[in-house]
Amino acid sequence: MEQVFQVDLRGVVDLLSHHLYGSPRVYLRELLQNAVDAITARRGSDADAPAEVRIETPDRTEDGSIRVHDTGIGLTESEVHTFLATIGRSAKRDELGFARHEFLGQFGIGLLSCFLVADEAQVLTRSAKGGPTVRWIGYADGRYRVERAAEERAEPGTTVILVPRRDMRQWVTQRTVLELAALFGTLLPFPVTVDGESITAPGLPWRTAYPTPADRQVALTRYAEDTFGFTPFAAFDITCAESGLTGVAFVLPQAANPAAKTGHRVYLKRMLLAENVTGLLPDWAFFLRCVVDTTELRPTASREALYEDDLLEATREAIGAQIRDWLVELSTSNPAGLAEFLHIHDLGVKALALHDDDMLRLVDQWLPVETNAGRIPLAEFRRRFGEVRYTPSVEEFRQLAAVSSAQGLGLVNGGYSYLTEILERLPALDPEIRVTRLDPAELATHFDLVDPATELALRPFLSTAQRCLDRLECEVALRTFDPPSLAALYLLDRDTQHRAELRATRAIADDLWADVLGAFDTDQGTDRPQLVLNHRNPLVRRICGVTDPRLVTTAVEALYSQALLLGQHPLRPIDIALLNRSFVGLLDWAVHDTEGES
């Protein structure tokens, strides 16, 4: 048998009025919204009807109440029963229940916000259709009553009367009401006054006419300073016809955190929706703060955020395209300005370049990146070196930058955010662009071989050095390369590094995981890391002339340890032990040699 839900009205009122909204301050926003919608409805049938919202604070009223008067369409007694006493019922929908475009409110719950600050709400209303003035009194526990008012309103419209609870009186003081009315209603198209003081502006700041573009820019800068508290790097207009959106985007003057959710000031039909609305712009546009007014985007029921739907997604895409167009235009009209912008907000532009070819071209042409030839744009780097070689980590770049430069090889540091992905996308712009990750072992092919006679004479030394490094699974090689100040270089190709990491993990894993990892260790290659000794280095040449095997072993171990440290390679326990032993050994040899001389 079908049953009807039993609704605890007191609980529903408490839920919606105390838990739907984020702060008691929204009570005034909801009252302003209802007043503006009532005026809009009346002007729909009478274009010359008066349009005014008057707010009286306890400073003006005798009973300590706050009163919001409007010259709107008002309600008849039957409409009062229908719309004020039914939660979720709104006069702002058509006969099929769909939201009507011209109204701010749609959900039929705005009046419940009164119970955030008061236990009782009175509504005095007289319909423009005719009839007497009706009084509706609602209580926070869900009760209400309707009666004919003892005093008739002089004209159609509505007055809402709230006597605040003792703990909520701070929300209805003249100063607070002025601040809230100015916050929510400054841009409303109808005059709004608080105790006779006007709080409405003459128009939307970004749609106001100015004598010159420079004057407009100055005015927008001042508006950003007053609204957001910063002087913008730049400001440009944003629009979306589909969502009826107009506004202005302000570029932050300092670097922003990409992980932080940037909030924007959003007006809905010129009523402030919220000061920190997220989701309006693409995630990569974290370097912007926007002020916009929209007629078509939908608010959530609490009117503190935008409803996520296809229209909002289309608006995001349209604004994203305009941000990109602004950056491209800046690159042609003001290259110095673009360079300054990139210096501040390179992360945002690089994030966009991962998905947008126009931004990728801009990054390629203008964004300086770290290379072993200095900080230069990628296009300039290709002009100098042709092929783009890069390292995927900052540590690897620091190890190989000087050596590769000495060999005439250009190297890009791809270890910073998004840069490796950007480098790998460059061929999408031009298939002729060659981008490769530098394999450290490749550097050895650019080193000069030692004179055959010299290498033959040094064979005993190299044999001793190789026996020393065999237990470390490392090969020794003698080459000549620049810079001469570098004594030794530890080179490890990617495949060898992968196998070494896999086997190191197996060594410390339990039996189960060791077996699992062993299934991946199918490559039985014999390639090992190389310790390349630089015969151009004076110290290496002196070590090559040592004949004592013990001293040769200690010296080679010291060179091996130094190469690991300079390359910022991870040290295994055996490497740490060797580092300590070689240091102590050399110290002991130096002390012993000094004692012998004395």
Which segments within 9-108 are labelled E, that is strand?
53-56, 66-70
* Predicted local distance difference test score (pLDDT) of residue 503: 55
Residue whose structure tokens are 């102590």: 584
Between 410-414, 463-467, 488-492, the lowest mean confidence (pLDDT) is in 488-492
Residue ranges of the alpha helices (H) in 46-160? 77-79
Residues 119 and 175 in one domain: yes
Q: What is the pLDDT of residues 492-534, one digit of tens each?
A: 765 555 455 555 565 656 565 555 545 555 555 446 888 999 9
Average pLDDT, the chain: 84
* Predicted local distance difference test score (pLDDT) of residue 403: 84
Residue 101 CA to residue 296 CA, distance in Å, equals 7
Q: Is 567 helix (H, G, I), strand (E, B) or coil?
A: coil
Domain-ending residue, one of 153, 178, 198: 198
User: Which residues span the domain enclosing 224?
Assistant: 205-333
Between residues 568 and 419, which one has the greater pLDDT?
419
Nearest to 565 by CA among 488, 500, 507: 488
Between residues 332 and 85, which one has the greater pLDDT?
332
Paired tokens of 571: 């040290």
Domain-located, residue 440: no
Asked if pLDDT for residue 351 goes beyond 90, the answer is no
Between residues 504 and 11, which one has the greater pLDDT?
11
Residues 38 and 173 in one domain: yes
Domain-located, residue 392: no
Domain-located, residue 453: yes
Asked if pLDDT for residue 264 goes beyond 90, the answer is yes
Asked if pLDDT for residue 465 goes beyond 50, the answer is yes
Domain-located, residue 391: no
Region 375-381: what's the mean pLDDT?
Answer: 93
Nearest to 124 by CA among 161, 73, 92: 161
Q: What is the pLDDT of residues 79-134, one digit of tens each?
A: 888 777 555 444 443 433 334 444 333 323 567 788 889 989 999 999 998 889 99
User: Is-above-0.85 flag for pTM?
Assistant: no
* Predicted local distance difference test score (pLDDT) of residue 342: 87
* Predicted local distance difference test score (pLDDT) of residue 113: 81
Supply the angle between the helices 335-353 and 357-366 in degrees, to the nearest 10.
Answer: 130
pLDDT band per the 50, 70, 90 thresholds, residue 179: very high
What CATH number corresponds to the domain at position 223?
3.30.230.80
Nearest to 265 by CA among 235, 296, 288: 288
Region 456-466: what's the mean pLDDT?
Answer: 91
Region 298-306: what's the mean pLDDT?
Answer: 82
Domain-ending residue, one of 198, 223, 239: 198
* Predicted local distance difference test score (pLDDT) of residue 314: 95
Number of domains in the chain: 3
pLDDT band per the 50, 70, 90 thresholds, residue 598: very low
Domain-ending residue, one of 288, 314, 333: 333
* Predicted local distance difference test score (pLDDT) of residue 102: 41
Residues 141 and 213 in one domain: no
Nearest to 384 by CA among 408, 400, 414, 403: 408
Residues 192 and 310 in one domain: no
Asked if pLDDT for residue 290 goes beyond 60, the answer is yes
Asked if pLDDT for residue 551 goes beyond 80, the answer is yes
CB of 319 within 8 A of CB of 282? yes
Between 32-36, 87-91, 291-295, the lowest mean confidence (pLDDT) is in 87-91
Burial environment of residue 138 by CB neighbours within 10 A (0 to 12, 13 to 18, 19 or more): buried
Asked if pLDDT for residue 463 goes beyond 80, the answer is yes
Domain-located, residue 511: no
Region 419-424: what's the mean pLDDT?
Answer: 94
Residue ranges of the alpha helices (H) in 458-493? 459-470
Cis preceding linkage at 202, omega within 30: no
Domain-located, residue 500: no
Query: Cβ neighbours of residue 360 under 8 Å, at least 6 residues apart?
Result: 353, 422, 425, 426, 428, 429
